[in-house]
Amino acid sequence: MIVGVGIDVVDVARFAATLERVPGLVVRLFTPAERGLPPVSLAARFAAKEAVAKALGAPAGLSWQDATVRRVAGAQPVVEMTGTVAARAAELGVTRLHLSISHDAGIASAMVVAEG
């Protein structure tokens, strides 16, 4: 059963400029496993985290640090949920998140389907 769907798009150049202007955002938005990635990958992960939040109903109090987006060689990317994100997913009965990420022509996009 589909519990929620979320989608988000990010202008990569604008996002990269924001990260340069406010370097502390990298620590606030991304987990240690994500922080060393290039700006285009960070923009895609930010879009994925936004899409996750939307699929979970965008409740107040979700922490960016409680979702890590990982690439798996030969497979679709996965979202590892902990803390506030895992708690919200459990509250909604979400057992799996399906994530698709893309970036082309200066835009990063992500779509999430929350399944229960």
pLDDT in tens, 14-54: 999 999 999 899 999 999 999 999 999 999 999 999 999 99
Encode burial over 79-96: b for 16+ CB neighbours within 10 A, e otherwise: bebeebbebbbeebebee
Instruction: Read off the DSSP letter of residue 30.
Output: S
pTM given for the model: 0.94
Instruction: Tell me the pLDDT tens digit for each residue of 46-98.
Output: 999 999 999 999 989 999 999 999 988 889 999 999 999 999 999 999 999 99
Please name each of the domains of the chain with its CATH number: 2-115 (3.90.470.20)
